[in-house]
A and B are shown apart, each in its own frame.
Chain A
Amino acid sequence: SAVISQKPSRDICQRGTSLTIQCQVDSQVTMMFWYRQQPGQSLTLIATANQGSEATYESGFVIDKFPISRPNLTFSTLTVSNMSPEDSSIYLCSVLGDRGSTGELFFGEGSRLTVL
C-alpha cells in the first residue's frame, strides 16, 4: 500500500488567483498521477508526473493552467492557475502501490477547491 498526504485538504479561493496543491508519498514512486473530480462526477486524469521529466498532460489540460512539479520520488505539486469557478473541484493525487506491480492506484484524500 501507499500512504499519501495532500495539502491543503480544502480551500476557498478568489477568481484569478492560483493555488498549489502538495502531495507527499511515504515511499519512492516513479509515476504520480493527478486527477480532478468535479462535484458528483467521475475522476478525470489531468496528467502523469514522472520524476526527472516533464509531466504528460491529457487532452483538455495544459501546462500553463496546471503546472506540475516533481522534484523527487516522494513529492509532487499541482498548481491551478488563474482560477475560475469552473475549477471548483476535488483534486486527487494518486500513485501505484507495490512499485506498480499490481496496478492498484492509491489516492490521497483530495484537495477540495472552491473558487468564488
Chain B
Amino acid sequence: GENVEQHPSTLSVQEGDSAVIKCTYSDSASNYFPWYKQELGKRPQLIIDIRSNVGEKKDQRIAVTLNKTAKHFSLHITETQPEDSAVYFCAASWQAGTALIFGKGTTLSVSS
C-alpha cells in the first residue's frame, strides 16, 4: 500500500520567513496530493491540493509543487505569520475520492 514520508517533523521560523515541508510517496499510481492544517484541539482542514497532471499550484501565500518522477511534493509558505503555527499533514491517494494516507506531520512554529 501507499506510504507517505514527511520532513521535517518540527520547523521553527521567524515571522516573515518562508517555510518548506517535504513529502515523498511510494505508490507511483497515486495522483492526488492534499495538504491539511490542524490547529491545536481542532480537526484537520484542507489548505491546498494538487493533482498529478499539475506541477505547481499557488493560493496566496501557499504553494505546492509536485515532482512525479521523483515521487515527492512540497508545501511552501511565504511571509509566515504567527497564525500559520499548526501541524501540517501531507497526504496521498491513488485518486481523488478515495481514502487518504497521511504523512506523520510537521509542527510549524512561527515566532514574532
Interface of A toward B, CB cutoff 8 Å:
31, 33, 41-45, 48, 58-59, 92, 96, 100-105, 107-110
Contacts and interface: CB of A to CB of B under 8 A. Distances in A.
A96 B34 CA distance: 13
Contact of A43 (B42, B45, B89, B97): B89
Interface stretch (B11-19, B54-62, B71-79, B98-106): B98-106
B49 A103 contact: yes
Given A59-B1, A109-B43, A96 B97 contact: yes
A59 B103 CA distance: 16
Interface of B: 1, 32, 34, 42-46, 49, 89, 93, 95-105
A58 to B, nearest CB: 8
B102 A92 contact: no
B43 A42 contact: no
Given A45-B99, A45-B101, A105-B46, 18 more contacts: A31-B98, A41-B104, A41-B105, A42-B89, A42-B102, A42-B105, A43-B44, A58-B1, A101-B96, A101-B97, A103-B32, A103-B34, A103-B49, A103-B93, A103-B97, A104-B34, A108-B43, A110-B43
- Listed from nearest, the 7 A-B pairs whose CB atoms lie closest are A103-B96, A100-B97, A107-B43, A43-B102, A42-B104, A42-B102, A104-B46
Nearest to B4: A42
A110 B106 CA distance: 20
A36 B24 CA distance: 22
